[in-house]
């Protein structure tokens, strides 16, 4: 397999039971086999994508001192700006060669969750940045809802099993800038070291060029390259754990480009789909049998997220 399977969300939304089931089977099998798909038929239109990339480039082009105004202490980087080299992969000390921004949930009708989540941060210098970010956040979240409905059916659950857990969930939209590489990276640092994602699923914009690689079951690294109209969507550790590793959270990385391209920036924009903190990630009974005993301890999504933010160096113990 040279690349990742491609699926079309319009099959699931078609109203045709056969096409809907085809999508369920295709995405379920892909997530059992490699944990990644390229998805067509999502809710982001070209105009919104172009506007978002424009605003993201504008933000990362601001002077460092301006960007650092938006780095908020004490919240583990969960909103606003996170400066270059702050985050590292679990088990590594070398910081990744990236800077990024976090948009968080726009809570509806839930004062308790509004109090729990940090507030979104407004960039004064760019009047459209937050507006475009919010629209992209909500279109990616809408796409993710349908992907999780398909996966619920694949797992033998009610189609709407995930809906109440992801409504007002602790999801994050993260525009990332991998700046030009000017010196030999220290300690083998790469743009994003090998890691699994924390969340339920990740929806990624900006995997049109080489750089993102996924590791298959044989330990080989495969380039994950999407078409311009596709999102790359992968399983995170929360969903893998909840399904007893039936749906696989695949290790992936963003490698440095060839030396002749070191002078170029790379941008990518993942949407990390999280549930509400109190969702129990206990292994589903449907995923346990004689050949697959329960593989994980009981834990909530909030507890699991906190553990991982400590491991990534974003929260101190």
pLDDT tens by residue, 160-189: 999 999 999 999 999 999 888 777 766 666
d(CA 210, CA 232): 13
pLDDT reading at 229 higher than 50:
yes
Residue range 244-273, pLDDT digits in tens: 999 999 888 877 667 777 777 888 899 999
Superfamily covering domain 6-311: B-lactam Antibiotic, Isopenicillin N Synthase; Chain (2.60.120.330)
- Residue ranges of the domains in the chain? 6-311
pLDDT in tens, 89-134: 455 445 567 899 999 999 999 999 999 999 999 999 999 999 999 9
**Sign of the torsion angle spanned by Cα atoms 152, 154, 157, 159:** positive
From its phi and psi, is residue 145 left (phi > 0), alpha (psi between -120 and 50) or beta? alpha
Provide the token pair at 123: 């960039």
Q: Is the pTM of this model over 0.85?
A: yes
Residue 2 predicted with pLDDT over 50: no
Residue 315 has pLDDT above 50, yes or no: yes
Cα–Cα distance between 216 and 235 in angstroms, integer?
A: 14
3-state secondary structure of 163: helix
Say yes or no to pLDDT of 1 above 50: no
- Of 92, 78, 181, which Cα lies nearest the Cα of 121? 78
The pLDDT value recorded for residue 190 is 61
pLDDT higher than 90, residue 291: yes
pLDDT at 87 exceeding the cut of 60: no
Place of tokens 């994602």: 197
**SS3 call for 139:** helix
Report the DSSP pairing between strands 99-102 and 231-235: unpaired
């Amino acid at each position: 397999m040279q690349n990742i399977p491609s699926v079309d969300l319009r099959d699931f939304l078609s109203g045709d039971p056969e096409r809907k089931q085809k999508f369920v089977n295709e995405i379920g099998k892909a997530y059992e086999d490699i944990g990644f798909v390229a998805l067509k038929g999502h809710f982001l239109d070209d105009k919104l994508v172009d506007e978002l990339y424009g605003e993201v480039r504008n933000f990362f082009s601001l002077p460092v001192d301006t960007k650092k105004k938006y780095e908020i202490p004490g919240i583990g980087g969960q909103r606003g700006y996170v400066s270059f080299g702050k985050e590292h992969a679990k088990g590594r000390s070398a910081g990744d060669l990236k800077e990024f921004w976090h948009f968080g949930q726009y809570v509806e009708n839930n004062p308790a969750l509004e109090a729990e989540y940090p507030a979104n941060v407004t960039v004064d210098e760019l009047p459209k940045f937050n507006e475009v970010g919010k629209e992209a956040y909500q279109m990616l979240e809408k796409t993710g809802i349908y992907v999780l409905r398909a996966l619920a059916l694949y797992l033998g659950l009610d189609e709407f099993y995930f809906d109440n857990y992801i409504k007002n969930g602790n999801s994050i939209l993260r525009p990332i800038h991998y700046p030009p590489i000017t010196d030999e990276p220290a300690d083998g640092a790469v743009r994003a070291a090998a890691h699994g994602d924390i969340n339920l699923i990740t929806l990624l914009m900006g995997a049109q060029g080489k750089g993102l690689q996924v590791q298959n079951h044989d330990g080989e690294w495969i380039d994950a390259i999407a078409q311009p109209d596709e999102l790359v969507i992968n399983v995170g550790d929360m969903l893998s754990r909840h399904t007893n590793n039936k749906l696989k959270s695949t290790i992936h990385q963003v490698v440095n480009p060839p030396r002749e391209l070191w002078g170029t920036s790379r941008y990518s924009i993942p949407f990390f789909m999280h549930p509400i903190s109190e969702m129990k990630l206990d292994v589903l009974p449907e995923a346990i049998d004689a050949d697959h005993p329960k593989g994980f301890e009981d834990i909530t999504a909030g507890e699991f997220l906190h553990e991982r933010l400590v491991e990534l160096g974003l929260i101190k113990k």
